Structure 1
């Protein structure tokens, strides 16, 4: 009976992974287009919830795509290795010989050909690598898609509004809302996936030649994990294909710190001119005054006699301090 149950499980998994792989392909294609279109679109980089240094939305989208391709590659490897199970009561193929098969060891390969699955090297009644591999690739895929979702949820907040879902969901009580429903579903899937995956990993400790409990514990969490990740992959494809990007909001937010978002650059550029100690002293004072007086960093720097002759427009423009973001985006988009 386990031969049939395990083989059926692999067939169900194969059909699900085929759908997941197709949706991951859609998502990667959509993110590739977005990254290319916004290669040089500047936006605030955020670390520990705060503005750090400028980055580009193209690089962010390229990073999302890289995770999706990682998930695709892992899932494709697992899909290609899903095996049949055909070994008899205790994994010895003894019954097939008793019924007259001259060489029972050739049966699993023939069986695998019939079902378009892989032929296992050994019976895997209690060697649950195929199920653990499914757990790993599915949990990783859920997490990779979850990264996209939580970024979209953050960037689509009312007070940020740098991106929006193509068609948000309405609210039952607040007509003005367009809730990011797809990103919400994906984020929920990412939080659910590790738990069933943990049960599948725990079932690796399977005693004897057929266990009491370990094998049976796999059935429900594996079905749940396949459904959860299948839905998340579909939702992510739809999310990324319809995502609306708002460069004007990104550019506006680069100015929220009155220019202090480029303080790292100024520290590096002014140290050779003023000396490290004086540059640090000056920038610390100007940063304090920027907050206290609500005046732009560029304006305060222009009042310093020591800085006359420097191109302050260049030094304080956040869009000119995105480093190698464009080149990194190009490199990421070379991956197929």
Structure 2
């Protein structure tokens, strides 16, 4: 766990609270309480004893540091927690604590609860990002800007389409998050080797009761050594961080001094530098990218721990605990900082147009070549048209003249395209294709989802 020095930067936002030590301890106790209540419903233990156990399952009543220190005895914190819980409940209920369960049942179910609670908060943060992006997609649907390919100017797009593309990644993450939250976050309850033999014919009813009590899915069978659920949590967290990182990277690139199409306008003191008074860094986007950048390694750690031996693993289960917490935490931080960046985002539409016009029509060269093929009815093939226009572009870049004039002086081009038509083709607003429809479809999908 972090000592706190970097928490404000890399453990920011409301998800962090859901994955801390106290949250884990409460989730473990929630399992024990649900186990007792479900066992009483199934007739395994007296209802009064179950109530006494459940009332003793409050994390604030336990010493986290002491339980952690005692965990070395059996290699996990569930054992000492069960002992502490047993010591706390009245004598008539103590015999029924943890009945039929094993340590991994406690920890794995706690992992699912911690993940579920983190996902619930994370979804809210993601949805707020989506709302902001949908607003930008709609507001700037007609704001033309340079498209960029391999970091070079390419045919025009609109900032609305850019925002819609960002929104699409966020919406996809929410979709997958919802699916896993609903179907794949499941109770773990199998006893020593996944048979629930200690409960006789009451095992399945107790399992069903625990799932109902905790609001988790009921698995077909215990998953002690079948770790696809953990892998899916890792994957959707990585997917979410990937969507965040793409947006954050674009924002930082578009905020460069030489481009200046976006900027963050945060409170006084945000975005400054320790040595350069002039700096106005897009700090929230930077921190979103920094948080998201930790995800791939953590995802890999969880996938690497997926091979569990026989019915209970020797070490692979233990290897999941910290990476899972850190992955949920850093995903929450990344989304929090993205939301902050989007809330601060300033769009400079004038700079977008100025950058678009800087190349005097060069990025519309494809439009001219395509029109030449069409106007000549194929007499000038696509490759020949591209080569002819490319020659004129090279002359323009070399300083021979303006592109429009050079195109209008080319005998092959002017045979089929008048100067007026050339000027039209070099207007970026005429070469946006299906942009409006793509934005509309993205926004329709978002409204349906949310």
* Shorter-chain TM-score tier: over 0.9
Aligned residue among 290, 298, 306 for 1:196: 298
Aligned Cα root-mean-square deviation (Å): 1.8
| Offset at residue 61 of structure 1 (A) | 0.5
Which shows bigger deviation, 75-84 or 26-35?
75-84
| Offset at residue 242 of structure 1 (A) | 2.4
Q: Distance in 1 between matches of 2:149 and 2:279?
A: 28
Q: Distance in 1 between matches of 2:329 and 2:271?
A: 22
Aligned residue among 195, 198, 203 for 1:95: 198
CA contact (8 A) 2:282 2:341 kept: no
**How does 1:52-63 map onto structure 2 within 5 Å?**
52-63=154-165
Q: Distance in 2 between matches of 1:78 and 1:95?
A: 31
| Offset at residue 116 of structure 1 (A) | 1.4
Which shows bigger deviation, 57-66 or 275-284?
275-284
Which shows bigger deviation, 159-168 or 40-49?
159-168
Structure 1 segments unaligned to the other structure (5+ residues):
none
**How does 1:248-287 map onto structure 2 within 5 Å?**
248-273=350-375, 275-276=379-380, 279-280=385-386, 282-287=388-393
CA contact (8 A) 1:31 1:62 kept: yes
Query: 1:107 matched to which residue of 2?
Result: 206
Q: Does 1:160 align with 2:292?
A: no
**How does 1:97-136 map onto structure 2 within 5 Å?**
97=200, 102-136=201-235
Q: Distance in 1 between matches of 2:387 and 2:292?
A: 46
Query: 2:242 matched to which residue of 1?
Result: 143
| Offset at residue 213 of structure 1 (A) | 0.9
Q: Distance in 2 between matches of 1:225 and 1:147?
A: 18
Q: Distance in 2 between matches of 1:281 and 1:32?
A: 40
Query: 1:328 matched to which residue of 2?
Result: 438
CA contact (8 A) 1:27 1:240 kept: yes
CA contact (8 A) 1:258 1:295 kept: no
Q: Distance in 2 between matches of 1:210 and 1:280?
A: 64
CA contact (8 A) 2:227 2:306 kept: yes
| Offset at residue 272 of structure 1 (A) | 4.3
1:7 aligned counterpart, secondary structure = helix
Which shows bigger deviation, 153-162 or 236-245?
236-245
Q: Highest relative contact order (Cα 8 Å, sep 6+), 1 or 2?
A: 1
| Offset at residue 177 of structure 1 (A) | 0.8
CA contact (8 A) 2:140 2:159 kept: yes
**How does 1:4-83 map onto structure 2 within 5 Å?**
4-80=106-182, 81-83=184-186
Q: Distance in 2 between matches of 1:76 and 1:267?
A: 46
**How does 1:166-315 map onto structure 2 within 5 Å?**
166-167=265-266, 168-273=270-375, 275-276=379-380, 279-280=385-386, 282-293=388-399, 295-303=401-409, 306=414, 307-308=417-418, 310-315=420-425
Q: 1:230 to 1:295 in 2, by over 3 A?
A: same
Which shows bigger deviation, 314-323 or 216-225?
314-323
Q: Distance in 2 between matches of 1:218 and 1:310?
A: 66
TM-score, length-scaled by structure 1:
0.93
| Offset at residue 91 of structure 1 (A) | 1.0
Q: Distance in 2 between matches of 1:333 and 1:197?
A: 31
Decide which structure has the larger Cα Rg and report it: 2
Which shows bigger deviation, 296-305 or 122-131?
296-305
Q: Distance in 1 between matches of 2:387 and 2:240?
A: 48
CA contact (8 A) 2:156 2:431 kept: yes
Which shows bigger deviation, 188-197 or 62-71?
188-197
CA contact (8 A) 1:258 1:294 kept: no
